[in-house]
Each structure stands twice: as structure tokens, then as C-alpha cells.
Amino acid sequence: MSDTNQQSSLEQPGEELLKDAGSSVGLVQTQTVRLFQGDQRLLLASGQSLGPIDVAYETYGRLNEQRDNAILIVHALSGDAHVAGRHRPEDPKPGWWDHMIGPGKPIDTDRYFVICSNCLGGCMGTTGPGSINPQTGKHYGLTFPIITIGDMVELQGHLIDYLGIEKLLAVVGGSMGGMEVLEWAIRFPGRIHAALPIATTARLTAQSIAFNAVGRNAILSDENFQQGNYYLTDNFPNNGLSVARMIGHITYLSEKAMHAKFGRRLQHSQDYQYNFAQEFSVESYLDHQGTAFVDRFDANTYVYFTKAMDYFDLSHQHASLLNAVQGTNCRFLVLSFTSDWLFPPRQSQDLVNTLIAADKDVTYCDIDCPYGHDSFLLETLVQGQLIRGFLQQTYLKLSYAGKAAGSPPLSQPATPAAQMNITPRIKKNGSIFEGFRVDHRQIARLIPPDSSVLDLGCGDGTLLALLQEQKNIRGMGVTLSTDDVLACTRRGVSVVQYDMEKYLHSFAEKSFDYVVLSQTFQVIRQPKKALRQMLRIGRQIIVSFPNIAYWRGRLHLLWRGKAPMWKQLPGHWYDKPEESVNYLSIRDFENFIYKQLNARCITRIPFSSRTGRQVRFRPNFFADEVIFVITDECP
């Protein structure tokens, strides 16, 4: 829905974010291919058919010998195929996502072959209402058939066939493009390895449909619209399209961003003029956006694209969103932005919750950025790192899956340990777990190979990365920290940025073999509720925490009369996280298991974090940490 040609929609509000260490793809050329010629026709969701169809597209980078490094970029409402580089040296602006695509950039054209095409119904080279109908010799206008997001994706699939690519490494897109990404994952589950829907939704809300309707009405009621047949006249429906653009552009920005840029500043005077002229800076800005838009976009395309977005509803198309995603088999990276009120984070979270319930491989991050819906076009620091890491790990996993299957590996393979940054420091005893956190080593020994593991409060993903590398587990992490999400993504660990206590209900019953809560129990606000949910989700749960009854803690209280401090409980009580209130002992937790959870303890491992050794004599006194393995299943 956003304006993919407006990299600087707030006069460079995030200029510092647009800088990237990579270089440009340079000069590029838009190509066109004609599909569905002769008797061939593209069957549309409306029941009508269309052909021939010209498709405008651009490519960047090189397709490797295996033809498995291709990434499709799909554009938003007002976008086009020109996503990176420049057509001419004198072009004032590069493609609409140039800071994300190019050599050394997050979508690295030294590694990937990148494709972007103008959508069906577009006005930038692909057949649309402004094209000539070969049967009549006239512009289609409103005789062009109604199209859907699914129709756009179907045409993109035929373009990928034309390019000789059997399976895409990834499909990436924001806003309307994110809808296309979801459609790709559902319509062609065997043709993509990864889906990256950004700042999008599985269906528009009534509010979003209302904004689209007002924009369309502004166009349709323009006296120059002439039922869509304005192409041979000198009077285009510029007023209507300009108003539609202004309305749309307001929804792309956040209140904070608009206030920071414009406030209530007057444009040309120091005081009110008491007339109906455009006095405020924001009015002049919107007028400029509307005027610039009509010079490059077609009113009919705006009408058709917004209607296609209104019709997009995966729940309606597939009886439920869960049914819609059930057949997908790709990895997902779902991104939202905190200030996006057009497609707010909760819509992305609804999608993520459904993917979790369907047991899909999903990573999610809600990026803190002030620029509203346009954030996906402007923010690169976090978004770029997430996309880079996610694509690299997808590429890496496919490489090693190919090796295991005996097929040629992807180009530029890298060693898993180096890529995941978890190289074990093997000591004299030969343990693969030496060099890791003591409780992580203990937990890793408890979990058998090929298990499924949910790590709550997973931190930087070290434990899950270790288990994936050495035990071949299927894992997912949960964390609140954006930095942790970035670290997990670089390690190839699937993670969702959730408050675990609010979203544990999203996980299906017994959907994991193990649920781990490592050094996080002490910050749980409702321990009983959280652990009962964990017991519902996992066949066994593993909990580790510092033991408050450790002798150092007792000594602090006995001799100093102060809250205890040692290695596992550093800092003063007032410097700890505000929720860090669950100080408990080994004995406390044993009573909690039996009396409050009605569960049973399978294993208890009290140990010294200093030596890493298990404490067998008076553990409630001599062990500063403990690990419990618990279940609610009958023996």
C-alpha cells in the first residue's frame, strides 16, 4: 500500500538509515517479455481470462549454475520493476529499494540473482488498463478485467518459468508486496524456500478498505475520469488521483514523523491569513506529493490495485488462516514496525501466531522505527541485518541439505560453525559442549538428538544453535530483545519477538519435545500460569535458575542483612530488571512442582557454576544453580 518510489517521503527523515556499505548495481535496463500468446490465456480469479500479457521486469546479479540462488522482489501499490540501480547516469534517484539490493548489501547481488517485475494491471510496462487491447486496438480502460493478488502472483510464476527457474530461494515484499509473498507461499508451496512478508497483513481491516474506497471515489468522481476512457484526451483525472494519493500518503506516515517534520508550521507567512489557501507546511507537502504522483502513475491502475488489495483475504479464500498456511513448507521471516498504524504489528502477530500453530519455521521481529508504514522503505539498520542473516542462513541450510542428499551444493558454501559463530572449544575430555555456559552444557546433554525444542528467553540463541549443530534438533526461540533476534537470525535460529507470558497460548499442545526456561524463571511474573502453559506445550520442560539458598546468599543475609549477591545474582537488588522478583531455592521449587503444578520431577541437577560439577551433598546449601526436568505425563 506504501509508495515504493518515495524513498525520501519525509525529505530524508531517515537519511542516516539509507547509507549502506555495499555498492550500487549500476546502470540497469528494464526488459519486457510477452506471455500467453496465441491461444494461451491467463485464467483470472474472476472467471475471465487475459492474453497476450507483456511483463516488464529487471534482474540484478547472476543466476548460478544450479539456478537456485534467485530471489523475487515484489512491489507495493505504487511501485514498479525498477527496484535498484539507475537507468541513466543522470537519474536523480535510484530504484525504490536501492539501499537494500546490490553488491555487499543485505540482498547481496554478488551472491543472489534478484528479479523484480511490474505487477499485472500496472502502468510501468506490464499489461494493465492503460495498455492497448489487441482485440479492439483501443486502451483497455475499465474493460480490463478485475484482478486479484492471486492473479498477480500467477503471472509472476509464469515469468519465473520463462526465466528457467524451478525454485526461488526467497520471495520478498512489503505492504501489497507482502500480500503477494503470502500468496506465493500458499499458491506455490514447492517453489520457494523462504518467504519474507514485511509490513503487511493476511487481509485488510475495514479501516484500510475505507481508505482505499475514499481514494477510488476521488478518482471515479473526477469529471475527467470519463469511465476510465481518458487516454486519448488532454484531460486526465489528475485532481482525483492527486487527492487519492494525499489520502494514501497520510496513512503511510506516523503522527510522530509528521509532527517532527511539519508540526503546525506555516509555509509562507508568520501568521494566519484567514482564507482557504494552503497555509500549513503539511498541506504544501501533501499537495506536492499529489502533483508528483499524477506525473508518473495511472489512475486506473490505482483503482485496480486498491480493489485487488480489498479482495485479498486468506481466511475467506481458504476457510481459515490456519488452513491457508497449513500447506506451506518454506521458512518465514515476518517483519512489522512499531509505528505502522495502517498495517499495525498485531496483524503481523496474528499471522505469526497462525504459523506457530501450524508448526511452521517462522522468525518475527517488530522493529522500532518512527516512520509509520513507510518504515520498510526507509529503515535499513535492523531490517537489513535481519534480511541479510535470514537469507544467508536459508542459503547455507540448503547448501548442506543438498550435500546430504548428494546433489551439487549451492555456490559459496561456508562451514556451519563459522556461520553460526558457535565454534566449540573442545577440551581434553573431548566434549563438544566445553566452552559454553555451564547450564547450557548440562541442558545440551539432557536433550537427545532429533528432538524439538522451544527455548523461552533464548537470549542470543547460543543454546539452540549448539543443539541444532550437534544434536540436529528442530528449535525455536522466544525473546523480547531486538538485539537477540538479530543474533539468533545470524545463527540460523528461528525466533519470535514475543512476551512469552502473553503468547504461550499460540503454541499447540505437545508441539515440542522440550520447552526450556534457562535462567529466566526468576523474571516470570506469573510462574504458575507460565509453567502450566509450558507443560501443555512440551512433553518435558527444563528449568534452570540460581539457588537463593546457596551458602553465599545465606551468608549475605546472616552477616550483612542485605539481599544476596554472587556470580549468578550480580548487582544490587535495585539494579535488577523490574520483574526480577522470583528469588527461590531448590527446596522451594521442589514443593512448587508437586503442590502447585501437580507435576513430577524426572531429573534434578544441582551444580556449581564455578566448577560445572554436580553437587550431591546438601545441594540446597552448596549448589548455586540447579536444573529441573519436569513432566505432567504419566511414567
Question: Amino acid letter at 619?
Answer: P
Peptide bond connecting 92 to the previous residue in cis, omega within 30 degrees of 0: no
Question: What are the angstrom distances between the C-alpha of 463 and each of 121, 252, 520?
Answer: 48, 39, 14
pLDDT band of residue 431 (cuts 50, 70, 90) is very low
pLDDT band of residue 17 (cuts 50, 70, 90) is very low
Report pLDDT digits (tens) over 103-127: 999 999 999 999 999 999 999 999 9
Give the C-alpha separation, 477 to 497, whole Å: 9
Q: In percent, how much of the chain has pLDDT > 70?
A: 86
Contact 124, 56 (CB under 8 A): yes
Under 8 Å CB-to-CB from 528, ≥6 apart: which residues? 592, 596, 597
pLDDT band of residue 465 (cuts 50, 70, 90) is very high
Phi, psi of 51 (to 5 degrees): 175, 150
Under 8 Å CB-to-CB from 594, ≥6 apart: which residues? 600, 601
Strand partners, 35: 53
Least confident residue range of 71-75, 334-338, 563-567? 563-567
CATH number for the segment(s) 415-631: 3.40.50.150
Q: And the C-alpha cell for 234? A: 488532454
For residue 53, is pLDDT > 90? yes
CATH 3.40.50.1820 fits 30-396, yes or no: yes
Under 8 Å CB-to-CB from 17, ≥6 apart: which residues? 378, 379, 380, 381
Report pLDDT digits (tens) over 268-293: 888 888 888 888 999 998 999 999 99
The predicted structure's pLDDT at residue 117: 98
For residue 579, is pLDDT > 50? no
Identify the three-state secondary structure at position 625: strand
The predicted structure's pLDDT at residue 269: 84
Give the C-alpha separation, 615 to 623, whole Å: 6
The predicted structure's pLDDT at residue 405: 55
pLDDT band of residue 521 (cuts 50, 70, 90) is confident
The predicted structure's pLDDT at residue 368: 96
Q: What is the mean pLDDT of the chain?
A: 88
For residue 424, is pLDDT > 60? no
Count CA within 13 A, CB hemisphere, residue 320. 7
Question: What are the angstrom distances between the C-alpha of 453 and each of 40, 259, 544, 572, 601?
Answer: 49, 45, 15, 33, 19
The predicted structure's pLDDT at residue 128: 98
**Annotated active-site residue in 99, 193, 373, 440:** 373
Identify which has the larger pLDDT, 398 or 481. 481
Identify which has the larger pLDDT, 371 or 633. 371
Where do the structural domains in the chain lie, given as residue ranges?
30-396, 415-631
Whether 580 sits among the annotated catalytic residues: the reply is: no
Average pLDDT over residues 214-224: 97
Place of cell 504419566: 634
Give the C-alpha separation, 601 to 635, whole Å: 11
CATH topology match: 30-396 vs 415-631: yes
Strand partners, 625: 546, 607
**Annotated active-site residue in 3, 20, 340, 366:** 340
pLDDT band of residue 239 (cuts 50, 70, 90) is very high
The predicted structure's pLDDT at residue 612: 83
Whether 193 sits among the annotated catalytic residues: the reply is: no
**Annotated active-site residue in 2, 78, 175, 336:** 175
Q: In percent, how much of the chain has pLDDT > 90?
A: 72
For residue 14, is pLDDT > 60? no
The predicted structure's pLDDT at residue 581: 56
Question: Amino acid letter at 412?
Answer: Q
Give the C-alpha separation, 26 to 22, whole Å: 12
Report pLDDT digits (tens) over 66-94: 999 999 999 999 999 999 999 999 999 99
The pTM assigned to this predicted structure is: 0.89
Contact 547, 569 (CB under 8 A): no
Give the C-alpha separation, 331 to 361, whole Å: 5
Identify which has the larger pLDDT, 1 or 465. 465
Identify which has the larger pLDDT, 177 or 557. 177
Report pLDDT digits (tens) over 369-414: 999 999 999 999 999 999 999 999 999 888 766 555 555 544 443 3
Whether 340 sits among the annotated catalytic residues: the reply is: yes
Identify the three-state secondary structure at position 576: coil
